[in-house]
Each structure stands twice: as C-alpha cells, then as structure tokens.
C-alpha cells in the first residue's frame, strides 16, 4: 500500500512513517527541508530494507508546490491507499496582539496544504473506490485557549475540512479520520522543562493511526481523541 505523509522528517510524521515502514508499505514522504527528511528516510531504510521510500522537499504552505507534489506521487509512485496530512505550523499567540499576517500563515500551512494535496490525490482514489485520509488536527480544534490565537482557528478549520470530506467521500468508500491529540512530546518541547513521559508520545499517535488504517472496509474510525492522562501541558 502507498502511504503519503506530510511533515515526515520529525515528530508525529516521522513516527507514523516508521510504523508503516515496519510493515513494508511504500512511503511517499515530504518535508520543507530536504536534509532532515533524507536523514529520516535513511534511518527507515536501514531498519526496514523491504520498504520503498520516496522523498521530496515541499513547502506545504505554497499551493503550487503542494499540487506538484501530488502530481509527482501519482506519476512516479502510484495511487495512495492512505494520506496523512500532518504538516503544521505552531506559534503561541493571542488574537488581539499577534503579529499581522499570522492568521494567513497558519491557514496556508495548517489548512490549505491538506486541502490542495487531498484534492490533487483524490481522483484516482475515487475511481478505485478505496482509501483512507487522516488529518492531524488538535485538541485545539475543539476549544479555544488563551494562547491559541490563529493556530486554534486553523485547527478548527482543519476539523471542518475533515468532517466535510468524510460526508463527501462516504459514497466512494473512502474513509476520513480526524486525529485530535493533546500535548505530544516532539522537538518543540526540548528545553521546556516538561518531562517526556508526562505527555503523549509520537509513537502513540502512530499506533492509533496504523490500527485504524487496518480495519475492515466497512469500519471507519471517524475521530481519534487522545490526551495526556495527567492533563495538558502548555509550551510557552
């Protein structure tokens, strides 16, 4: 099965890639910076030589780059079985005093990238009447918080895209799952003083996504909500 993952050089994207690589799936990975992406790909190939991995540097905030990435996948890799829209941009902020233009930056990365990539890849998936799309949303998709600002707005919007896609694609036998993690330990938490074991691990998200992708054709996990047992942490 061909699995497309955006933002795959680190964090949740890398953990999900590792999980699918373990089972020998073909991966099409992108990230904005090619060096860490190639390093991650090299690690996966060394550990899972049976796995075929394609990589490409893509700025998910640029519409033309995203569409070109989708077309490249269809011509060079094939029709995806799974799409994982993971790439995202995060800044703590408040709407009343955040920098001008931040909303546009958040939306172009956290919403538009998933929108344009999915639209580009969907036609052959619709024709084959199979596939599964995972959008990595956030607990911030459900409720506002004092430091959410434009990030929360963009994640609310991604949740809306997810729900609408699910209804549109049901007649075509394509599943759509929203993934709503709370605090997940990734590189952005380094130096924050938060202990890794106190919040969710990226591997936890990967386990849930992989399991949901392997269910029978008529079983769709619509939403995955996961939060730290001891409550949220806030990275400021």
Active-site residue set: 151
Hey, CA dihedral for 172, 14, 111, 55, is it positive or negative?
negative
- Selection from 200, 185, 191, 190 nearest residue 230 by Cα: 200
The alpha carbon torsion through 22, 26, 28, 29 (nearest 10 deg) reads 10
Q: Are 30 and 58 in contact (CB under 8 A)?
A: yes
Please name the residues in contact with 36: beta carbons below 8 A apart, sequence gap of 6 or more.
9, 10
CA distance 82 to 97: 39
Residue with tokens 């691990």: 201
CA distance 232 to 142: 14
CA distance 89 to 58: 14
């Amino acid at each position: 099965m061909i699995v497309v993952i955006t933002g795959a050089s680190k964090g949740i994207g890398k953990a999900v890639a590792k999980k699918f690589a373990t089972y020998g799936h073909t991966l099409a990975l992108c990230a904005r910076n090619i060096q860490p992406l190639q390093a991650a790909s090299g690690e996966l190939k060394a550990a899972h030589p049976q796995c075929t991995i394609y990589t490409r540097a893509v700025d998910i905030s640029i519409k033309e780059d995203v569409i070109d990435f989708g077309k490249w996948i269809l011509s060079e890799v094939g029709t995806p079985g799974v799409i994982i829209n993971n790439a995202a941009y995060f800044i703590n902020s408040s709407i009343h005093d955040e920098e001008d233009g931040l909303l546009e930056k958040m939306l172009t990365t956290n919403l538009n990238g998933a929108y344009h990539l999915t639209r580009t890849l969907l036609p052959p998936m619709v024709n084959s009447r199979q596939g599964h799309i995972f959008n990595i949303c956030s607990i911030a998709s459900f409720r506002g918080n004092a430091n959410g600002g434009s990030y929360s707005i963009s994640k609310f919007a991604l949740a809306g895209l997810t729900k609408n896609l699910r209804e549109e694609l049901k007649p075509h036998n394509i599943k759509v799952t929203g993934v709503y993690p709370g605090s997940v330990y990734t590189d952005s938490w380094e130096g924050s003083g938060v202990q890794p074991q106190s919040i969710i691990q990226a591997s936890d998200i990967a386990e849930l996504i992989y399991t949901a992708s392997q269910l029978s054709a008529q079983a769709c996990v619509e939403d995955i909500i996961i939060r730290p047992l001891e409550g949220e942490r806030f990275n400021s």
